[in-house]
Amino acid sequence: MSNRIEPIRSVKGTRDLLPPDTGLWQRVEAEAHRVFAAYHYGEIRTPILEETALFARGVGTETDIVMKEMYTFRDRDEESLTLRPEATASVVRAYIEHSLYNQGGVKKLYYIGPMFRRERPQKGRYRQFYQIGAEVLGSENPLVDVDVLEMLALFLERVGIREYRLLLNSVGCPNCRAAYLEVLRSALQEVKAGMCVDCQRRADTNPLRVLDCKVEADQPIIEKLPKTIDHLDEPCHRHFERVTGELQERGLTYQVTPRLVRGLDYYTRTTFEITSGAVGAQNAVVGGGRYDGLSEMLGGPPTPGIGFSIGQDRLILAVQAAAALQAGSPLAAYIVWMGESELRPASRLVRELRAQGLSVEIDYDPMKIKKAMGVANKLGARFAVIIGEGELASGKYQVKDMASGQQQELGPVGIASYLKEKL
């Protein structure tokens, strides 16, 4: 009988992000911080755990997310808690909880973090995935919608993604929704018998959801259903016209996509998605839109809002496909020391270089020089700094460019500025 212990693996649909990939994740996040700050957004960090009722009320009880995909459990005191499947509801909850509306003006917030949905895992679809999102609360001005889309375009450009499509639609407000739903319901009565079982149910419970059904055989039927943009009331129609007109004015390309109603119930008026061919079947990299009624649905004051979430996992796939960004900064130097008497000056140098912000590595176990140079190579160090008995005596260390093989003799004080100049 073997007594080998089975190693424990990560949970299905979750994964470890490892270096050097995490370097790329950091680059993308740094760009988000920069671009969003330029548009005057501030970062919000909300808890990963929320009361289940937040998503039931916010996202909607009839949505796939709430019906099938949430990680919900009873806490020890019987309270029902859920690992957040998205963050917009959490941001609006925080907005209400901290009375941010009292601060006057619009509130612009962004977040970066993990979300959880129990979907079938595949490339670009995970059960723990990451979003970079932004929300604007307190304005229904269509120019805000355009600013949000412009900021997204700038961010995508900054991370090197140029091949993408912006799909745009308007789902109207509750006022036009009522009229549209009636038209849609009666159209569905005619055709629902030929659709999937989920759509047959949705046709009665939540007909809008029929529009984002993914079942292949249903697609030709869905194409012919009435469109939300043909049933907007006058204010919603004008709003959409202003959004599209201003997008054209700013040279931002979009594609009106009538079926785009999005899988969450809180949307009103503008909805959008950004797709990229580079990501495979799961090609929606960004989803977003207006949610002018969400604050009230969550017990807050009437507050219009709009925002988006970028699927960071998919964004990284697209960035890798475009080979746009390089992962993390490379190792500037590997320090090679020969004998015990060189270890102290070597570690002093390491400390000084690191304090200057340079990425530096040292091994504390003694090694033959040949092996040490092999390690420097394997780690991808740009330079090796060699400190032997002779170097210690002369006060000049050997600084070797690992790519060219060229060697310089430098006093410890000059090494930091030399490396910085060369990197």
Give the β-pairing of 333-337 and 383-387: parallel
Minimum separation from the CB atom of position 204 to ligand HAM (A): 24
The stretch near ligand HAM (CB under 6 A) out of 243-251, 286-294, 345-353, 398-406 is 286-294
Nearer to ligand HAM, 265 or 342 (CB): 265
Rounded CA gap, 83 and 117, in Å? 8
Cβ neighbours for 12, distance < 8 A, ≥ 6 positions apart: 121, 127
118/185 with CB nearer ligand HAM: 118
Residue for token pair 């943009």: 229
- Binding part of the chain for ligand HAM, among 154-162, 180-188, 226-234, 282-290 by CB under 6 A, reads 282-290
63 part of the interface to ligand HAM, by CB under 6 A? no
CA distances in angstroms from 41 to 36, 133, 136, 384, listed in the order given = 5, 11, 8, 42
User: What is the per-residue binding string for ligand HAM in 216-255, x denoting contact by CB under 6 A?
Assistant: ----------------------------------------
Q: Does 272 bind ligand HAM (CB under 6 A)?
A: no
- What is the H or E stretch that residue 317 is in? helix 312-321
Q: Does 300 bind ligand HAM (CB under 6 A)?
A: no
- Note whether 155 binds ligand HAM by CB under 6 A: no
Among 41, 111, 129, 397, binds ligand HAM (CB under 6 A): 129
Shortest Å, Cβ 125 to ligand HAM: 4
**Taking the complex as a whole, how short is the minimal distance between the CB of residue 91 and ligand HAM, in angstroms?**
8
Which residues between 66 and 95 bind ligand HAM (CB under 6 A)?
A: 86, 88
What's the min distance (Å) between Cβ of 275 and ligand HAM?
9
Dist CA 249 CA 132 (whole Å) = 27
User: Which CB atom, from 87 or from 199, has the smaller least distance to ligand HAM?
Assistant: 87
Q: Is the separation of the CB atoms in 137 and 95 below 8 Å? A: yes
Q: What is the CA radius of gyration of the chain?
A: 28
Q: Point out which span in 25-33, 203-211, 310-318, 325-333 binds ligand HAM (CB under 6 A).
A: 310-318
Question: Counting contacts by CB under 6 A, is residue 259 touching ligand HAM?
Answer: no
Residue 284 · residue 308 · CB < 8 Å: no
Q: Residues 260, 271: contact at Cβ < 8 Å?
A: yes
- Token pair of 380 as six digits: 């991808």
Q: Which residues pair with 407 in a beta bridge?
A: 400
- The whole-angstrom separation of Cα 362 and Cα 349 is 10
Per-residue DSSP letters for 23-47? HHHHHHHHHHHHHHHHTT-EE----
**Near ligand HAM by CB under 6 A: residue from 131, 170, 228, 270:** 131
Read off the DSSP letter of residue 65.
I
| 285: contact with ligand HAM by CB under 6 A | yes
- 135 touches ligand HAM by CB under 6 A: yes
Residues near ligand HAM (CB under 6 A) are: 86, 88, 117, 119, 124-126, 129, 131, 133, 135, 263, 284-289, 291, 307-309, 311, 313-314
